[in-house]
Amino acid sequence: MRVLIPVDGSDRSLAAVRYVASTLAPGDTDLEIHVLNVQPPLPSAAATFIDSAVLRDFHGDEGAKALAGARKLLEDAKLRHESSTVVGEVAETIAAYAEQRDCAAIVMATRGLGNAAGLLLGSVAHKVLQLSKVPVTLVK
Q: What CATH number does residue 122 fall under?
A: 3.40.50.620
What DSSP state is assigned to residue 101? T
Task: Give the angle subtended at the CA of 81 by the CAs of 79 and 85, to the nearest 5°.
Answer: 145
Task: Give the separation between CA 46 and CA 65, rounded to whole angstroms.
Answer: 23
* H/E stretch holding 81: strand 81-87
User: Domain count of the chain?
Assistant: 1
Identify the band that residue 115 occupies on the pLDDT scale cut at 50, 70 and 90. very low
- Asked if 36 contacts 5 with a C-beta cutoff of 8 angstroms, the reply is yes
| Residue numbers of the domain that contains 26 | 2-139
Average pLDDT value for the chain: 89
Categorise residue 123: left if φ over 0, alpha if ψ from -120 to 50, beta otherwise.
alpha
Q: What integer pLDDT is reported at residue 121 of this predicted model?
A: 56
- pLDDT over 90 percentage in the chain: 70
Give me the count of residues in the chain. Answer: 140
pLDDT at 45 over 90: no
